Amino acid sequence: MNIIEKIISNFINNKSLYIGEKVTISEHMIQSAMIAENVKSPNSLICSCLLHDYGHFILENPDKLVSKNLDGKHEDIGYEYLSKFFKKEVVEPIKYHVLAKRYLAREEKYFNSLSDASKISLKLQGGVLNKNESKEFEEKDFFKQSIKLRKFDEVAKRTDIKMKSIIEYKDLLSSQLL
């Protein structure tokens, strides 16, 4: 099975719910990609959105559970795995999407908009960034893309919209391979 087939099969077979929500992780990632598409994002960012929580799929598979802590770091696990196959533009925003949340949460309005589950995980992820950490993040390549991904991520939890299938993203996924 090649990587694209493997990804598609994981999307179809994984029925785990996205923490604290009524959508599955697969649906959540597809919705993020649909939102990115709706606002005419480049294919690389659509692909980032589509794969941003892929680390959760890997974490659930004990075979792939290398020496990482079980308490998460799904962004690093997803990044490490996907960077073997996908372009930098795709995987860098994935690596930073949790940092982007910690950055955005400095604003009260954004913090209040987070779900309860997301507020709890924010603490586990290290909490809100301080001034220096924020500045360091702003200087990173793919800072803007990471923030965009995070904003799409945040609203991709709806249960009342017509979902696309992962199969419809096959060509887009293939186009973003190394």
Please tell me the distance from the alpha carbon of residue 107 to that of residue 109, in angstroms, as a whole number. Answer: 6
Indicate the residue whose CB is closest to Fe ion: 153
Among 53, 79, 102, 147, binds Fe ion (CB under 5 A): 53
Of 20 and 135, the one with the shorter C-beta distance to Fe ion is 20
Q: DSSP for 28-64? A: HHHHHHHHHHHTT--HHHHHHHHHTTHHHHHHH-GGG
Q: How far apart are CA 162 and CA 130, in angstroms?
A: 39
**Count of positions on this chain that bind Fe ion (CB under 5 A):** 2
Looking only at residues 134 through 173 of this chain, which bind Fe ion when binding is defined by CB under 5 A?
Answer: 153
Q: How many CB atoms lie within 10 A of CB 29?
A: 25
Closest distance between Fe ion and the C-beta of residue 53, in Å?
Answer: 4
Nearer to Fe ion, 92 or 153 (CB): 153
Say whether residue 75 binds Fe ion (CB under 5 A). Answer: no
Tokens 């954004």 sit at which residue?
Answer: 110
Q: Which residues contact Fe ion by CB under 5 A?
A: 53, 153
